[in-house]
Structure formats: structure tokens, C-alpha cells
Structure 1
Amino acid sequence: MQIPLPPVDEKKTVIEDIDKDRWYAIDASSSGGGGLGGSQYTQCQIAVSSVFSLIRSNSPITLFRKFLRPPVTSQGCILLNCEDIEITMNQRSTIDLKHGWDFMQRGITKLKNILEGLPEPQFSPEDYIMLPPHDYSQQLYDKYREAFEEYFTTTVLPSLREKHDEFMLRELVKRWSNHKVMVRWLSRFFHYLDRYFIARRSLPDLNKVGLTCFCDQVYQELNGKVRDAVISLIDQEHEGEQIDRALLKNVLDIFVEIGMGSMDYYEYDFEDAMLKDTAAYYSCKASNWILEDSCSDYMLKAEECLEREKDRVSHYLHSSSETKLLEKVQHELLSVYGTQPLEKEHSGCHALLRDDKVEDLSRMYRLFSKIPQGLDPVANIFKQHVTAEGTALVKQAEDAASNKKVFVWKVIELHDKYLAYVNNCFQNHTLFHKALEEAFELFCNKGVTGSSSTELLATFCDVILKKGESEKLSDEALEEILEKVVKLLAYISDKDLFAEFYRRKLARRLLFDNSANDEHERSVLRKLKQQCGGQFTSKMERMVTDLTLARENQGNFEEYLSNNPIANPGIDLTVTLLTTGFWPSYKSFDLNLPAEMVRCVEVFKEFYQKKTKDRKLTWIYSLGTCNINGNFEQKTVELVVTTYQASALLLFNASDRLSYQEIMMQLNLSDDDVVRLLHSLSCAKCKILNKEPSTKTISPTDIFGFNSKFIDKIGRIKIPLPPVDEKKKVIEGVDRDRRYTIDASIVRIMRSRKVIAYQQLVMECIQQLGQIFKPDVKAIKKRIEYLIGREYLERDKDNPNLFKYLA
């Protein structure tokens, strides 16, 4: 090897060039193939060392010897075969570019022949090592490109032009595979360029040059034909034919790989056309299916089409195409026809809901949830259907006032059914929860045969919480029912009216010992508190607490009587002590009690005054009960009556006959109360008193006498008073409370805002009170005027629509 003597100032360059030759020789010797055994490795290391000894011995200047060192690691010789080192550096000769390129061209030709399947021997070390030492890098870089261009022009393009359709695709895949092999091998031949020349000049690397050549020479000419051939095969698969999916996968990978990290070639040269073709195909199909198929069949076909397109993406299309492809299919099958399949008369969404087609409804949700606003029409139809069924229940409930339990049961079942649809078929989507809520609000707030929904719901709770009814249910079943009732309450706008009805019925259950279980009562209150807030249940919670304290107080009273036998009235007396303000208001009359009862009242007063001196007792005789013995001719019968009834009956111990007016005067009761108690004793099933004249109504001129001939087989009867319709009283009380509530809300808002417009004040007031009831705008306006009169606020002098708060 001839190493010319460089000028002294170029010594570093010479050293670098020699080192490059050293590593280039080692890299090029890798044609030998696989790894070495221990002895082969040692021989290789010795041989390579001898090569570099030759280099040093032929260097006329010893200055460079310290820079020329033999390799001491396996990095340079791990792939060498021993015989690769037999050629000495003296055998190499200096050649010019033309002769050197001719020599390289023989190697390239050999590679082409191998790729074309022609017999050729393997590359030898001489093919790598016999290279010129002169720097022809730029010329070699250009000829590298020319080698590809010549190969494409003479071999690749002719073979592709003579084939068409699927045969062309197969040839393209083969040529692309060969091209990648060729790029890999030529990159090895010209490895020096990649490592040094290209890196220094910031030129495209050899691999990129090879791909660019293929793109410019082959791809640009054929991509249109390739795209059409691929789309043609996809169309065949659309029609059910079997195609070579692996072939399509390989072809489409070319579009991706040509981009060298960019998806532009794939998207612009193939994907756009494929999406248009797919849209046209499904547009044609949908136009026929929408006319021929039922809603269920149409949705089934649509879902199958979407699954098939997903399958195509997984097998040969690029993953980035999935979203765009599915959107195209969804648009043509679902968006274009809008609500048309949903509104089919005999098979649309209404029919699916009516016939409980759960699977079809689930499919409908899956499909329409994929398109923008696709669920809106489904939710609207769902709302219409639920509203219609609920309204039908209201119309059917002609006898709901007498059998309120049946109506509420049906409403609960309806809610359970469609809540299950929302949770399962419609995947718990908020849009369907809202539709269900709005539907139930529409019909749940309608009156039913004179009874409001609030009253019906309160009565239902009263029935299932009373003794007898609740005993038929397990604790778990009862809790589940109560949970559902409270959920229904969420749809009621007049929650305060429900609270008052419920409170009055709760009071009767507690006072008359009709409640089956205190824990069930507390459970309902906890649920109501969670639903409506603590203020909603505060009075009712205190009522339950009062009963517990009353039982303790009764125990203390009985202990007091046992310790004071003289004070004992000789009658079993139970007094329930309540706290004013928490319980419903009851009429309190100064009833003229019989002497026996007067003694009982006085004894309890003495006991209570010793216990608490600063509290006043008010006796509510209308809620009391009394057990008295009726001594009739045939036998004595125990009568369970109210305090009013007992007081009236005991009057006949002193007189055989009494007039209406006499009874009213002696008892000191109102006309209404006297009529009710005398009707229960003389006109009902158990006629304890005889009435003259014997009519079914009570008048002020009637005369009453004790019926000594009364007969009862059981020996113990309960004689209730005729029920009093408290609905009007409850509604009036709630309306009164609402006025106070609106006043308080307006004052709170004004205190916070100081100055506010009328519309804003009304809106904020409705928002604050909407949790309990929906105030009427006219009612709010009246309360504003009332508060202006009370000087809580005033109108602005310049703008009468503006209000100011007066501290």
C-alpha cells in the first residue's frame, strides 16, 4: 500500500485517513458471516494485527506509529474468518474512479442477478477491500443513485407495466421487497459514505436516497393504478367475495413506508379515494335497506357493516383509518336518514319500547351514540313513550282514591322497568336519565280522581308502615320499597305538600300505636333527609324522638303512682307528652270531662308540675282513646272509643234520654264534633245509642237514648269516629307556610344583593325554592309588594324595575 508523505501541517488528517481505512477494512470483512469460536477468534485477531503491522512498516515517518494500533477488542473482528486476512496490503493497487466504479459495478450487477434469481457466487473479501484510496465520495454518492435509477428503468418498471390488477399488486410487493434488500446491501457497499461523507455534508443517508429513488421512479408512475386495484379488491370483499388480505396488507404498507414517517402518501394517494368509495357503496346500500327493512333489521345490518369495517382495519388497512372509515359508514347508514328508522310505525323505537325489545334497544344505543347528537331523537322518543304510559296509568286510576296503594304500585313498577332500560340498554347515559325524570315529572304531578300525587304517595307510605301490612314483608323488601318511593318523590314538585301529608299520617301512626316498627320510620326519614335536606324532616324526626321520650315519661308516671297509692285514680291512664311546634296543629276544646276522667287529669298534672314547673300542659282530647264497659241486657261489651265518645256515653249513666242540645251543652263541644260523635254512636254499624227519629243524619232536634238491647258476639268492639277530610286544611296550611318561605327567600336575596332587577329577583327566588316547591310568579310578585309595604325593600325612583334592600 502506497502512503504518500503529507506536509507536516496535514499529519492529523493523514492519521485520521489511515484509521478510517483500518476500520473500513474491518467492517467490509464482515461478509464472512456468523460468529467465531475461541481459536478462530484468536487467529483473526493475530491476522488483523499483522495487517496493521504492514501498514506501520510501510510508513516512512515513524511519527505516525503511535497512532496506528492493532485492535484489542472483538468489535472489529468478531465476524472475520481467518482466510479473509490472507491478502496483504502489498496486493492493493491505486486505481482511478472509472476503474474503481467498474469494479463496484460488478458487485452491484451481482446483487441485481441475485435479486432476479440468477446464479451468482457469494461476495468475497476482495469485493470489499480492493477499493481506491482517493476521495471520490461525491461521485460515488451520485452513482449510488444512478445505480437505482438504471435498475428501475431497465428491470422493475417493465415488469410492472406488463401486469394489471391483482397480478400487478403481487409484482409490486415482490419488487418492493427486492428493493429493500438492494438498499440494505448497497448501503453496506457504500458504508464509508454513510459514516463520513454524508454525515459531514448533511446529505440524505443512503437508505433515504434508495427510498426516494423508488418513490420518484416507480411509485409516482404506478400509485394511481395500485390504488384502483386495491379499492377494486375491497369492493369485491364488500360483496362477499374472498380476497387475499395479506396481499393488500403488504401493498398498503408500501404507501406507509414510502412516507418515511409521514402518512401523507397513504392518506392522499389511497385513503381519501378509499373513503369516498366506501361512502358511495354504503349510500347505495342504505337507500335500499331503509325502504325494505324493519328498524331492527336495519340496525342489525348497520352494526354488522361497522364490525366488518373494523375487521378490515385490523387485517390490512392502517390503524389511523379506523376512525375516519367508521365515521363515513355511520354517516351514510345513520346520519343521512336521521330519525327515519327510529320513527317507523310498526318497528321503530316506540314499537321496540312497547314490545320490550331489550337487545334491539341496546343495539340502537350503541349505533346512535357514535354520531353527533345521535341520541337526542332516541331520548326524545323514550321520554314520549314513558310519558304516554304514565298518563295512561293516571287515566286508569279512576278508583285510586279508594285504592291508592294499587296506583302507586303501578307507578313504582313503571319506574323500575324504565330505569332498568336506562341503566342497561342505554348504558346509564345522563340524557336518558333526564328523559326519564322529565317524563315522570309530567304525569306524577297530575291529580288523580281528586287526590294529588303528593297525597297518594304519603298514603302509600302510611299503608305499608302500619301494623299488619309491613309484617307481610321482610325488612329487606320493605327497605327496597321505601327506597323506590323516595325516588318517586324526586319527581314531585310540591314536596312541601307531601311533607305535610306525611307528617300528619306519621303522627296518627305514632299516637295511635299503629306504626309497625320505629326503625322503619327512622329509615324513611333518613332517606327523605338525604333526598330533600335536613329542614324537610326536622319536625318529623323530633316527633319520633318525642314518642321515645313519652314512653320514658309514662314509665316515670307509673312509678310515681306505685309510690303514691293515695294519688292513684284507680283507672289505667296513659299520657303521651308532645312538644308544641313539631306536631301538626290540633283543635283543643275545654271539654267537660266526666268526674272519673277529671281525677285522672289532676293526678297527671300533680306529677308533671313536680317534675317541670315552668311548662304548660295543653290537653288534646280529640286524639285520646278510652276503653269503657257497656252493660247491655245480654252481656257486658268492652267498647274502644275516643275521649269524646266516652264522655258522651257516660252522660247516659245519669239520664236515659238526652237531646242533641243537651249533649252539646254538657260536653262543651262544637256542632261539627257533636254531629260526628253522635253519628258514630247511633247511625253507624254499632248502634250504641237509639235516635229519634231513626234517620241516617243528625239534626239539632234529635233525641238520643242508651240502646240496652245492643248485641255483639265478640265482646269487644272498636267504634271509630267518621274520618275528617283534612286535605283542605293541609293545603291551606301549606299555602300559608309558602308565603312565609317566599318572604324569607326574597329577604335573603336582597340582603345579599342590595340592589337587584325584578326579573333577576324572581329567577333567584325560584332557584332557591325549587328544591321544595315551584313558586308561582304571581305569588312572588305579591310577596314583593307585601315586603315593600313592610319596608324591607323599595323601588328605585328612577327605575321602577329595580329594587333596593332597606336594612
Structure 2
Amino acid sequence: MAVNERKIIDLEQGWEFMQKGIVKLKNILEGLPETQFSSEDYMMLYITIYNMCTQKPPHDYSQQLYDKYRESLEEYITSTVLPSLREKHDEFMLRELVKRWGNHKVMVRWLSRFFHYLDRYFIARRSLPPLKEVGLTCFHKLVYQELKVKVSDAVISLIDKEREGEQIDRALLKNILDIFVEIGMGQRDYYENDFEAALLKDSAAYYSRKASGWISEEDSSPNYMLKAEECLKQEKHRISYYLHSSSEPKLLEKVQHELWFVYASQLLEKEHSGYHALLADHEVENLSRMVRVFSKVLIFLDPLANIFKQRVTDEGTALVKQAEDAADGQKADEKEVDLQQQVFVGKLIELHDKYVAYVNERFQNHNLFQKALEEAFEALCNKGVGGSSIAELLATFCDNILRKGSSERLSDEAIEVMLEKVVKLLTYISDKDLFAEFYRKKLARRLLFDKSANDDHERSMLTKLKQQCGGQFTSKMEGMVTDLTLAKENQTSFEEYLSNNPNANPGIDLTVLVLTTGFWPSYKSFNLNLPAEMVKGVEVFRDFYQTKTKHRNLKWIYSLGTCNIIGNFEPRSMELIVTTYQASALLLFNSSDRLSYSEIKTQLNLTDDDVVRLLHSLSCAKYKILKKEPNTKSIAPTDQFEFNSWFTDKMRRIKIPLPPMDEKKKVIEDVDKDRRYAIDASIVRIMKSRQVLDHQQLVMECVKQLDPMFKPNHKAIKKRIEALIARDYLERGKDNPNLLRYLA
């Protein structure tokens, strides 16, 4: 026998030694008088297990020790833990359970150290459950399975007491519910099946009773909701203090269902305190609460948003009707109609401000309410008002703000704010290109006739439009502003040219604005036969311009010109501010005392429409510079005209307006023409990239591409497709006529 051969430890002897250690551990856990484990005690127990597991067969007792580990835990639970739990009830049972679960975890931890060699080698080789798992399984099988229903009921009873306002030990509940989670070893199955399901059922019943009582007691929706919202807040606190976070959506859904869903219709429709009533009475806090509360109940979000949308629509429609009624009552007075339309735009802006504030402040900027507001205003802003589109009215509204001498002068800051609000309304308008054309026409008049109150505001508005609608939207308008600056520089050069060339004398004070055709709206251009007094000026300017460039042709737009001429009347001379057409007509009377309608028309080379307009302004309007025979209020081709030499007025300087032409029709025609080009370009772009495409798909893609500027109707697109087929840009498929092919 070798000297170093280890003595065999048999099972009974070894386990008897281990039992002493286990008893000592139990005594410590039970609080009995016992010395703590020293490192020597621990090492002796560990080495005993090690030796018993590393002896050669048949003395390797690994399996037996593994079984005895489980048996010792089961024996302790059966003899000590269960009796102590069975004799206690309710909260006392819960406290005992927390203590026993804590002791059990300590016991498993210490025993796992003593039996550690089993975990490292024996269990790993045999693929058996680890010692810690065996410890949990013992507690689950013997304690948890027996007490889970009692524990769950006791916890829920405490939660209900807390709901009624009693103070409870939240830390105790947290520790108990942690047991449900820990016993599942990382899974929430036991927590969900053995506790959470019962909690949800109890919560639904509890809040069903509460809601039933409140709804019959309370006269007003806000009072009911105040209570209900407080309950919801308390449930959230409960979750944060002791329930598992995974319970939050399920518990809140149960509470919301009983408090909101079941009684939502009654709350919404209460006569004096429902949603409609709160909206009408502008009860901010109660309205916010109602939206906040119901925003949690998904099925009621849509009805709430629809009620809100209908409210906005009704108020907006009332504004439109009010404006149309005012326009009908003022048919004869165009100025009054314009004023009423501008008042309408102001009220529309106020309405938008009001309900944007509702959405932001009272509805927590919820996207459903944003969408409801957008849809209501899109429908509203794409209606006609008294024969005018809101796109046109917005352009006119801006013109009134930006023009010199507008009736109500706003501060610079107020103007900026108002322009910002107009641009926000513009986002709802489908026909943004129509607004752009009206705005461009009015901007052109402000720039050309020096009617713009402030250049900074003009540029600021263009910047706002550019940010909202893109660079293409404002490119022509920006070109106009730049063009005018260059035109003024050009005029300065012309004046220098005249001072340096004494022979180049136009004979009159002449100011010419040279503009780029592409930027500005199109204007009628006639070969007006200018009076001799003006012809020289035109020739001198043409000679000057040719010194600057020989590659550009000047096209004179006399319809935009103004002249200051002296009228030598018998009472006294007066300065007349007139258009170029009016001046040309008046200057004919320097060489003739009397002229017929046809003579004036022939000498000026104008159309009947233009001759009628200018002769009416000079002989039938406020200032009768010409006398007409017969003396009627309308112009006829048989009329005769004379210079009214005895005309007089208290002013020494008068402006004789020419009746404005109806530009609306021309703007709409121009926009329609531009749309045809835009649709053609879009179709060609799409087909060039796709080569072959289904007819319906092409229409849909075209609508999508053009939508930011205007909403083309399908009929217009189909018409342009036919036109492009006729011009050999596209062809239909031979086998399938709905298939279109691009022809390069």
C-alpha cells in the first residue's frame, strides 16, 4: 500500500459530516444560537464533497450527493418552511414568505458552494440541472404551487385597499412580486399566469363598479374625467413602485376600457359638458383633459378628431357664407366687395390661428388632430368665395398689406407676422400656381408703378414663399425684383448718356424701364401710333440702348406707361397724370378741334375695346377732359369728341384713371396654358425614364409629380397624353392599347 494513498470516505460517514454543516446553516437561518462559518469550516465541507466525488468507483458518490442535496432542501422546506407559512394569513403570510424566500436563496447559495464540485464536473458531464436551478425547483414545487393562489389574492386585496386610499407596505408587494418573476428563472410565465391575470380581472371589476357609480352621480363629463384621470395616474404610480413594467399596457388598457370606453359615448354627448359643448364654450382645461383622456382609447380618437374637424368646417363655412352674402349685397360697389373679401381673409387667418392653438395647447399636438385641422382647411381653402378663388383672395390680401397707402398701416413686425400666416394658409391650397400668378401680377404692378411700401417686406415674403413652395415657385418673382434694380441702373446710364450727348435730346423727360420678358407677366403690346412729341423720345432711347447691346430687341409696352401732361384750360392750366394711351389721345387735339370715334381709332391704331375704355375715361367718368356728342354715358362708334377747354377742378394736379381690365380671366387662361406645358413636361420626364408604362400608372405618377403646385384632374392628363401621341412623343402598344411607349 502506497504511503500517499487517500483514505476512502464511505457515503454514510461523509454525509454525517455534511449533515452537521447543513444543520448549522439551518440554525443560522432560523436565528438560533450558532457560530458563523469560518473559512476552515467551509473548506472542510467543500473538501469532503470533493473527495467523495473523486474516489474511484464504486466509491464515487457524485450521484448520491446530488440527490441528497435536493433531499436536504426538500426536508428543510417540509419540516420548517411550510409549517411557518401555513399558520399565517394575508399580510403576515406575505411577510413570512418574503423572509422564507430570502432564507431559501441564502441556503441554496451556501449549499451550492459546499457542493460546488458537483456543479463543475458531474452536472456538466451529465447535462443535469445546476444546483441553483434544483434549489428553485424545490421551492416552486413545495411552496409556490401550494401558496400561489393565496399569495396572489392577498396581494390584490392590498392593492384594492390602496385604491380605496389606505396606506400599504409597497416594499412588501415589490418583494412578493419579485418572487413571481424570480421563480420563473428569467421568464415571466408564472408572474403573468399566476398573478397578473388575476390582477387584470380584479382591476376590471373594481373600476367597472367605480365608473358605474360615478357616471350616475356626476352631472358633468369633466368631473367624471377628473376622477378617472386621477385613477389612471395612480395605476401608473403603482406600476412604477411594485408591479412589473410589462404589466403597464395591459393594466392601463383594462382601466381605460372600464373608465373611458364603456362610457365614452355618454361622456362625449352630455348636453352641457360633452365634447361639443366644451368646444363651443372654449373650456380650455376640461377640453384638454377630455382629449388627453380619450387619446388613450384608440377607438375614440377618430370620432374626437371628426367632431373637431366638423367644428372647424362649420365655422369656416359660416365665414364663407357671410362673405358671399356681403358680396351679393354689394354687387354694384366693387370696392365694397373687395373690402368684404379682405375682411373674410382676415377672419380666415384668425380662425386658423385659433384652431392651431387648440391643436398645440389643448390636444397635445396629436397627429390625428393635426390631420383633422389640415383636412378641414384644405376643403375650406379650395372653395370659391363670391366668384373668386381663395388663392386670388390671398394674393390680393398680400397686395393690400405690401402696397403703399393701404388703409390700415401695420407695424413692420405685424406685417411679417401676417405674411407668415398667409403662407401657412397657402399650404392648404391645391392651386398654388394660381396664387403664384395672381401674386406675380400684383407684385409687378407694385414694382412698376412704385406702389411697394417696403422693399424688405417684398423680399421677406419671397423668402417665405420660397421656403414653403420651393425655388421654382418664386424664381420669376425674384427675377422681377432683380430686374427692376438693373432697370433703375439702366435709367441712370441713360441720363448720363443724355448729359454727355447734347444732340440726343428726347424733347421730354423720359424714364424707361427695360425688363426681361421671361420674368414678368405678359402684357398686351400694340403698335400704338405715338404722337410726334413722344416718337423722338423712343428713338433717342433706342439709339442709347444700342450702344449697350446689339443682341436684344426692345419691345415697347405702352399699356404700362404713364405721362404727366399740362392741360391748358381757359380757367387755368392743370397737370394731368394719365396713361400713355390717354396722353396719345389727348395730344391729337393739339392739331384738331374736333375728332370722331373712328378718326381717333385710326390715328392711334388701337382696337375698339381699348378706344372705348380710354374715351370713356376722358369723357364720361369723373374728369370730363373731352366733351362728347351726343352727351350719353356710353361710347358709340358714331360719337364726336372735342377738347373741353372750360374744364376746371379745385386740384391743380389730377390723376385720370383708366378703367382696369378684368385681369382675372387672363390670369386663369395663363395658368391653364402653363399647366398644359407642365403636364406635357411631366409625362415626357416620366416616360423617358420608364420607356414603357401602363396608362393608369402614368396618370397617377403625373398627379403625384405635379401635386406640390396644382392638382391636375385625370381628364386633363389624358388629353395631354393624346396630344403627345399625336406629336409622336408616345405611342400605344399594338397588342395592349393601355400600354404606352416612349418614342425617343
TM-score (norm 1): 0.79
In 2, Cα distance between the equivalents of 1:644 and 1:496? 32
Match of 1:397 among 308, 318, 323: 323
1:210-268 Cα offsets, whole Å, 9 max, x none, are: 44433332222122111111112222222333333233223223323333444333222
Matched, 1:325 2:262: no
The answer as to whether partners of 1:470 and 1:478 remain within 8 angstroms in 2 is: no
SS of residue paired to 2:556: coil
Q: How does 1:16-415 map to 2 (within 5 A)?
A: 116=30, 135=52, 142-180=67-105, 182-183=107-108, 208-287=133-212, 289=214, 292=218, 294-335=220-261, 341-342=267-268, 346-364=272-290, 366-370=292-296, 372=298, 375-398=301-324, 399=326, 401-403=337-339, 404-415=341-352
Tell me which residue corresponds to 2:724. Answer: 787
The answer as to whether partners of 1:470 and 1:516 remain within 8 angstroms in 2 is: no
In 2, Cα distance between the equivalents of 1:140 and 1:662? 132
Q: How does 1:478-627 map to 2 (within 5 A)?
A: 478-627=415-564
1:572-621 Cα offsets, whole Å, 9 max, x none, are: 11111123343222222333333322222222223223333443333222
Structure 1 787/164 Cα, relative in aligned 2: closer, same or farther at 3 Å? same
Tell me which residue corresponds to 1:57. Answer: none
Structure 1 105/750 Cα, relative in aligned 2: closer, same or farther at 3 Å? closer
* More deviation, 697-706/766-775: 697-706
SS of residue paired to 1:591: coil
SS of residue paired to 2:740: strand
Structure 1 629/104 Cα, relative in aligned 2: closer, same or farther at 3 Å? same
* More deviation, 353-362/104-113: 104-113
The answer as to whether partners of 1:441 and 1:491 remain within 8 angstroms in 2 is: yes
What is the identity, as a one-letter code, of the residue corresponding to 1:321? Answer: S
Structure 1 335/717 Cα, relative in aligned 2: closer, same or farther at 3 Å? same
Tell me which residue corresponds to 2:670. Answer: 733
1:371-401 Cα offsets, whole Å, 9 max, x none, are: 5566433333333332222222211213464
Q: CA deviation at 1:192?
A: 7.7
Q: CA deviation at 1:447?
A: 0.7
In 2, Cα distance between the equivalents of 1:407 and 1:727? 19
The answer as to whether partners of 2:529 and 2:603 remain within 8 angstroms in 1 is: yes
Tell me which residue corresponds to 1:42. Answer: none
SS of residue paired to 1:756: strand
In 2, Cα distance between the equivalents of 1:331 and 1:356? 27
Q: CA deviation at 1:449?
A: 0.6
Number of aligned pairs? 721
Q: CA deviation at 1:113?
A: 5.6
What is the identity, as a one-letter code, of the residue corresponding to 1:265? Answer: Y
Tell me which residue corresponds to 1:758. Answer: 695
In 2, Cα distance between the equivalents of 1:687 and 1:196? 121
Q: CA deviation at 1:688?
A: 3.0
1:621-655 Cα offsets, whole Å, 9 max, x none, are: 22111112233444332221112222233333444
Tell me which residue corresponds to 1:88. Answer: none
The answer as to whether partners of 2:27 and 2:33 remain within 8 angstroms in 1 is: yes
What is the identity, as a one-letter code, of the residue corresponding to 1:627? Answer: N
Matched, 1:640 2:566: no
* More deviation, 184-193/237-246: 184-193
Q: CA deviation at 1:299?
A: 4.0
What is the identity, as a one-letter code, of the residue corresponding to 1:392? Answer: A
Structure 1 143/539 Cα, relative in aligned 2: closer, same or farther at 3 Å? closer
* More deviation, 389-398/469-478: 469-478
Q: CA deviation at 1:475?
A: 4.1
SS of residue paired to 1:320: helix
In 2, Cα distance between the equivalents of 1:784 and 1:319? 60
In 1, Cα distance between the equivalents of 2:303 and 2:371? 13
Structure 1 215/616 Cα, relative in aligned 2: closer, same or farther at 3 Å? closer
SS of residue paired to 1:251: helix
1:333-364 Cα offsets, whole Å, 9 max, x none, are: 44556666445555444444444444445445
What is the identity, as a one-letter code, of the residue corresponding to 2:81? Answer: V
What is the identity, as a one-letter code, of the residue corresponding to 1:330? Answer: Q
In 1, Cα distance between the equivalents of 2:607 and 2:271? 64
In 2, Cα distance between the equivalents of 1:299 and 1:723? 61
In 2, Cα distance between the equivalents of 1:780 and 1:113? 92
Structure 1 414/139 Cα, relative in aligned 2: closer, same or farther at 3 Å? same
Tell me which residue corresponds to 2:334. Answer: none
SS of residue paired to 1:168: helix
In 2, Cα distance between the equivalents of 1:151 and 1:776? 84
In 2, Cα distance between the equivalents of 1:130 and 1:639? 125
Structure 1 581/208 Cα, relative in aligned 2: closer, same or farther at 3 Å? closer
Q: CA deviation at 1:763?
A: 2.0
1:430-459 Cα offsets, whole Å, 9 max, x none, are: 444433322222111111111111211111
The answer as to whether partners of 1:681 and 1:688 remain within 8 angstroms in 2 is: yes
Match of 1:767 among 686, 704, 716: 704
In 1, Cα distance between the equivalents of 2:707 and 2:68? 84
Structure 1 634/224 Cα, relative in aligned 2: closer, same or farther at 3 Å? same
In 2, Cα distance between the equivalents of 1:127 and 1:564? 123
What is the identity, as a one-letter code, of the residue corresponding to 2:162? Answer: E
* More deviation, 596-605/784-793: 784-793
What is the identity, as a one-letter code, of the residue corresponding to 1:764? Answer: E
* More deviation, 131-140/415-424: 131-140
Question: Percent identity at matched positions?
Answer: 77
The answer as to whether partners of 2:291 and 2:362 remain within 8 angstroms in 1 is: yes
What is the identity, as a one-letter code, of the residue corresponding to 2:422? Answer: V
In 1, Cα distance between the equivalents of 2:711 and 2:473? 15
1:61-110 Cα offsets, whole Å, 9 max, x none, are: xxxxxxxxxxxxxxxxxxxxxxxxxxxxxxxxx99866776676666556
The answer as to whether partners of 2:507 and 2:533 remain within 8 angstroms in 1 is: no
1:644-680 Cα offsets, whole Å, 9 max, x none, are: 2222333334445444444334433333222222322
SS of residue paired to 2:338: coil
The answer as to whether partners of 2:507 and 2:536 remain within 8 angstroms in 1 is: no
Structure 1 289/632 Cα, relative in aligned 2: closer, same or farther at 3 Å? farther
1:124-149 Cα offsets, whole Å, 9 max, x none, are: 99987998978477666655544444
The answer as to whether partners of 2:525 and 2:559 remain within 8 angstroms in 1 is: yes
Matched, 1:800 2:737: yes
What is the identity, as a one-letter code, of the residue corresponding to 2:255? Answer: V
Unaligned runs of 5+ in 1: 18-93
SS of residue paired to 1:565: coil
In 2, Cα distance between the equivalents of 1:617 and 1:127? 113
* More deviation, 590-599/291-300: 291-300
What is the identity, as a one-letter code, of the residue corresponding to 1:485? Answer: V
